[in-house]
Structure 1
């Protein structure tokens, strides 16, 4: 897949941030503590994490990782706590304040798409909110995930041994029993997220679901 330049990726990320902010604008107070698809994190927690990562610069990331003893989970917890306001409305306002930022940790730019799409669903799915994502850009995120080790936040090992075939784009990857489904569903699966019944099909779907925990 041809690499997407920053002039293509950032506008997509900015649109996805805005769409998520708009979806959460009228969220009832009691729904902010709904468990997200991220184990141990609420919907409010994930939003605070998105504020934090939107502010993170390359140099700032290095400094923070050093302070956290190079423990990604510890760094995430510190960043989340720093951006999670007592009032979720204030966290949402802070998120709106970073919608158009182009700061990024020292990682490949497609990770910004992975974050936007996967964390968007981490929040939306438990709340029963649906959103239309640009399938071609989701495919860019999926392409990155299946080629990146889980140690680096990807899903290469989860995709291994299966032929993944998207039903809504031309994306195909790997060899083995075929697993077919929407590009977004494949992205969530190789990102370690649970899926709904029937999202994936094909002769490899059952084994793939067990392999990925989806």
Structure 2
């Protein structure tokens, strides 16, 4: 896959591949592992997977109706859709996720953002579980470039503002200011607000980035 300009078809192919890889990674989890806290706020591993299923099942019209019903409270919207997609047990939740692996349904046409959704949430569960899986660098590069360019589902551009980000494993660079260096995945996860990935970064800008990842 090219690492410069990915087409919409390229991005959707990456979404499908990353969903399938995550489903395979989670296939043999124990009940305790499914209930383990993720890096995504209050959600468990199983709840993150149900959230990803919901994201792959909610088109523009349904998303707008859900947000209106939630009075544009994103947490309420996400919790309601998650509850819909969580199965009677983790095996059922995983089966529902596998069923949407090839989906191209999304609330908007920002395909790089929905690729970021699965890339980030996959690490939200892999990291606490000690699972080694990670997307190819060109895939993460597409997400990193989108995150550095704008705030969308996460305040990634705000997090990176005034910093120079440089990947050590690929072509991604962005911004000017105190340097932050690390893998493309670590930079992407930090821009997404996951402070634990700042441990994988180096440079004088890391304390600023870590502070911006702090809750609240």
Normalised-by-shorter TM-score class: over 0.9
**Map 1:103-118 → 2, pairs under 5 A:** 103-118=105-120
Instruction: Answer yes or no: is 1:160 the counterpart of 2:161.
Output: yes
Instruction: Answer yes or no: is 1:184 the counterpart of 2:181.
Output: no
Unaligned runs of at least 5 residues, structure 2: none
Off by >6 Å, runs of 4+ in structure 1: none
**1:164-183 alpha-carbon deviations (Å, 9 max, x no partner):** 00111111111111100000
Aligned partner of 1:9 in structure 2 is 11
SS at match of 2:135: coil
**1:88-119 alpha-carbon deviations (Å, 9 max, x no partner):** 10000111111101001125111111111100
Give yes or no for contact 2:198–2:210 (8 Å, CA) kept in 1.
no
1:141 to 126, 143, 150: 143
The 2-side partners of 1:3 and 1:121 are apart by 24
SS at match of 2:190: helix
Deviation at 1:212, TM superposition (A): 2.7
Deviation at 1:153, TM superposition (A): 2.4
Greater shift, 19-28 or 1-10, is seen at 1-10
The 2-side partners of 1:94 and 1:198 are apart by 34
Instruction: Answer yes or no: is 1:209 the counterpart of 2:210.
Output: yes
Aligned partner of 1:195 in structure 2 is 196
Greater shift, 83-92 or 152-161, is seen at 152-161
**1:157-207 alpha-carbon deviations (Å, 9 max, x no partner):** 110111000111111111111100000000000101122574101222233
Unaligned runs of at least 5 residues, structure 1: none
Greater shift, 190-199 or 24-33, is seen at 190-199
Greater shift, 118-127 or 59-68, is seen at 59-68
SS at match of 1:100: coil
**What's the RMSD between the two structures over aligned residues?**
1.8
The 1-side partners of 2:109 and 2:159 are apart by 20
Greater shift, 10-19 or 187-196, is seen at 187-196
Aligned partner of 2:88 in structure 1 is 86
TM-score, normalization by structure 2: 0.93
Give yes or no for contact 2:141–2:184 (8 Å, CA) kept in 1.
yes
**1:3-25 alpha-carbon deviations (Å, 9 max, x no partner):** 53221011111010110100111
Give yes or no for contact 1:13–1:116 (8 Å, CA) kept in 2.
yes
